[in-house]
């Protein structure tokens, strides 16, 4: 490849969850296989699913997935702006991996003049180091009411003269009207960048779409590059909780082990449970009522971007009482990050970091107290289980990453759960808390570690009189499976021409 700045290929959508993330990942893997240095990019991501890079920067997990598809370590340049909603009106704003504050919509729109140069500089750095950058847009790219505030869609494409593939979600219905409507709403200079349509998540006989595709071509002169069928039981990182309960993310109904994950209104990093859902004998369910928890072999209380608000929701729904009853009956309860904080005695927010409350009572299942700090802790860590607990025997290996504003102190009634060291550091420190069958930790991704996952599930199997199992290992990489699927249904020769990569 030549040393000139990378070409840019952009995927935009007619809606959120149209499939831009997964199609971009597939293109990253496909071009990487062809010997192309390719990197993903999304200027602005609104998501509560985030990850910590080796350098300690926070970014959206969707771009981490795409980076893995490209064969790269994730870097915050791939997602320079991350918005993490903490209420209906306010989001935490993360720029180049660091939180810069909480802002209302109006405040963030006023801030965008400062952040746009950060976005373009990050894209420039990726272009300098690669042959191709696959850019993902955000939501719908034709929201005319938001055009002046858009820094993730056509403004990016116009900045670098990137050809655009417009992705429509046929599962939602009205895909042809949606695609054509977007073209009608694009300005002339935006329309000039539109290089192809992709119809995604189709079920049935694709020949039934021929008349609609011809009409699109006649009305817009833009070709449809493929109809990509819905890929059953696909697993990968996505941006938001829209996909929480879909097949492939939830477990297998009727499987002998039942694990309940509480679906909090502000649930974050729900991907922490994905590895459990992949186990063939686990029926993993995202639950929102006390009735749904009944009969579970274990309960996971996941992370939250608004811990106090979600704690209050637990009380309103009766889930708090159900969790206490389950713990009293000996059912393992595992809290992760915000879920860990909720399991404690009290949560203090003297600086009003997260809420308007100075202090709230927790569920009281762990003797810990959490105080919110103004500085976010973001790091990768590894270590071992410190004491016999639902996560296994002492010495079981664990690893993951931390993203939290809280600082938690143990009382006499709880013991440390883990012994951790920050990745790259030899200094050991305690993490989490344990009291009987209840435990909590700040470590996201703990079930991704096969040893910890096997220890957790084998204890549940033993309690049910079931034989132990080795941790499930996917026989085919989900990214490889996804890429093969996309390559089979997308005109990759046309995509390569549109990308216009220089000859080697």
Q: What confidence tens digit (pLDDT) does each residue in 237-256 have? A: 655 544 554 444 556 788 99
pLDDT tens digits along 374-431: 888 999 999 999 999 999 899 999 999 999 988 999 999 999 999 999 887 777 899 9
- Our count of domains for the chain comes to 2
Do residues 30 and 165 both lie within one domain?
Answer: yes
Output phi, psi for 114, to 5 deg.
Answer: -80, -30
Query: Alpha-carbon distance 122 to 139, whole Å?
Result: 21
Do residues 341 and 447 both lie within one domain?
Answer: yes
Output phi, psi for 246, to 5 deg.
Answer: -75, 155
Give the mean pLDDT of the chain. Answer: 91
pLDDT for res 473: 67
Residue 242 lies in a domain: no
Whole-number Cα distances in Å, 124 to 39, 77, 194: 12, 9, 22
Residue 369 lies in a domain: yes
28 in catalytic set: no
Residue 261 has pLDDT above 70, yes or no: yes
Within 10 A of 71 (CB to CB), how many other CB atoms are there? 13
pLDDT for res 247: 42
Output phi, psi for 42, to 5 deg.
Answer: -145, 120
pLDDT tens digits along 443-454: 999 999 999 999
Do residues 157 and 225 both lie within one domain?
Answer: yes
Domain that holds residue 298: 257-463
Q: Of 17, 75, 404, 444, which residue is the catalytic one?
A: 444
Residue 98 lies in a domain: no
Residue 359 lies in a domain: yes
Residue 282 lies in a domain: yes
pLDDT for res 248: 45
CATH number of the structural domain spanning residue 371: 3.40.50.880
Percentage of the chain lying above the pLDDT 70 cut: 94
CATH number of the structural domain spanning residue 203: 3.40.50.300
Do residues 147 and 272 both lie within one domain?
Answer: no
Do residues 72 and 191 both lie within one domain?
Answer: yes
Query: Alpha-carbon distance 231 to 244, whole Å?
Result: 16
Do residues 337 and 394 both lie within one domain?
Answer: yes
pLDDT for res 504: 53
389 in catalytic set: no
pLDDT tens digits along 127-170: 999 999 999 999 999 998 888 899 999 999 999 999 999 999 99
How would residue 2 be classed by pLDDT, with cut points 50, 70 and 90?
Answer: very low
Residue 142 lies in a domain: yes
Do residues 40 and 137 both lie within one domain?
Answer: yes
Q: Of 28, 36, 337, 439, which residue is the catalytic one?
A: 337
Do residues 274 and 333 both lie within one domain?
Answer: yes
**Alpha helices for 318-466 (secondary structure H):** 319-328, 338-342, 450-463
Do residues 446 and 489 both lie within one domain?
Answer: no
For 116, residues 6+ apart whose C-beta sits below 8 A from its C-beta are 151
Residue 252 lies in a domain: no
pLDDT for res 1: 38
Interstrand relation of 346-348 and 257-262 (parallel, antiparallel or unpaired): unpaired
Do residues 32 and 123 both lie within one domain?
Answer: yes
pLDDT for res 470: 87
Do residues 220 and 333 both lie within one domain?
Answer: no
Residue 303 has pLDDT above 80, yes or no: yes
Within 10 A of 244 (CB to CB), how many other CB atoms are there? 16
Residue 392 lies in a domain: yes
Do residues 42 and 121 both lie within one domain?
Answer: yes
Mean pLDDT, residues 255-270? 94
The structure's pTM equals: 0.87
């Amino acid at each position: 490849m030549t040393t000139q700045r990378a070409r840019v290929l952009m995927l935009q959508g007619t809606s959120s969850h149209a499939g831009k993330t997964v199609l971009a990942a597939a293109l990253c893997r496909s071009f990487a296989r062809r010997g192309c240095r390719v990197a993903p990019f999304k200027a602005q991501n609104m998501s509560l699913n985030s990850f910590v890079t080796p350098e300690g920067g926070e970014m959206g997990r969707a771009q981490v997935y795409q980076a893995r598809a490209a064969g790269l370590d994730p870097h915050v340049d791939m997602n320079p702006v991350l918005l993490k909603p903490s209420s209906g009106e306010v989001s935490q704003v993360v720029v180049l991996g660091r939180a810069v504050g909480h802002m209302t919509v109006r405040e963030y729109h006023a801030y965008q003049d400062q952040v746009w140069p950060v976005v373009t500089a990050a894209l420039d750095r990726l272009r300098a180091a690669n042959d191709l950058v696959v850019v993902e847009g955000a939501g719908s790219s034709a929201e005319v009411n938001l055009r002046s505030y858009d820094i993730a869609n056509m403004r990016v494409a116009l900045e670098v003269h990137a050809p655009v593939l417009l992705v429509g979600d046929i599962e939602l219905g009205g895909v042809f009207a949606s695609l054509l409507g977007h073209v009608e709403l694009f300005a002339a200079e935006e329309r000039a960048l539109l290089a192809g349509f992709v119809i995604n998540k189709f079920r049935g006989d694709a020949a039934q779409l021929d008349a609609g595709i011809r009409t699109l071509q006649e009305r817009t002169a833009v070709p449809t590059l493929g109809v990509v069928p819905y890929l059953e039981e696909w697993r990968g990182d996505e941006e938001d909780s829209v996909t929480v309960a879909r097949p492939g993310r939830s477990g297998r109904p009727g499987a002998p082990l039942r694990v309940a994950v509480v679906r909090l209104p502000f649930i974050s990093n729900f991907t922490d449970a994905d590895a459990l859902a992949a186990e063939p004998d686990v029926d993993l369910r995202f639950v929102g009522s006390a009735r749904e928890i009944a009969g579970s072999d274990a309960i996971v209380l996941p992370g939250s971007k608004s811990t106090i608000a979600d704690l209050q929701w637990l009380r309103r729904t009766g889930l708090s009482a159900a969790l206490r009853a389950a713990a009293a009956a000996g059912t393992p309860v595992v809290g992760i990050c915000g879920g860990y904080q909720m399991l404690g005695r009290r949560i203090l927010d003297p600086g009003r970091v997260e809420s308007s409350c100075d202090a709230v009572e927790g569920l009281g299942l762990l003797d810990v107290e959490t105080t919110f700090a103004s500085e976010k802790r973001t790091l990768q860590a590894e270590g071992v289980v410190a004491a016999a607990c639902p996560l296994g025997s002492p010495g079981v290996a664990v690893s993951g990453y931390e993203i939290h504003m809280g600082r938690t102190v143990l009382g006499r009634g709880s013991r440390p759960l883990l012994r951790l060291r920050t990745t790259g550091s030899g200094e050991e420190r305690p993490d989490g808390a344990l009291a009987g069958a209840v435990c909590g930790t700040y470590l996201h991704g703990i079930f991704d570690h096969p040893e910890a996952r096997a220890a957790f599930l084998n204890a549940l199997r033993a309690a049910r009189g079931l034989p132990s199992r080795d941790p499930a290992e996917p026989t085919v990489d989900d990214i490889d499976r996804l890429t093969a699927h996309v390559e089979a249904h997308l005109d990759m020769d046309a995509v390569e021409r549109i990308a216009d990569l220089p000859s080697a």
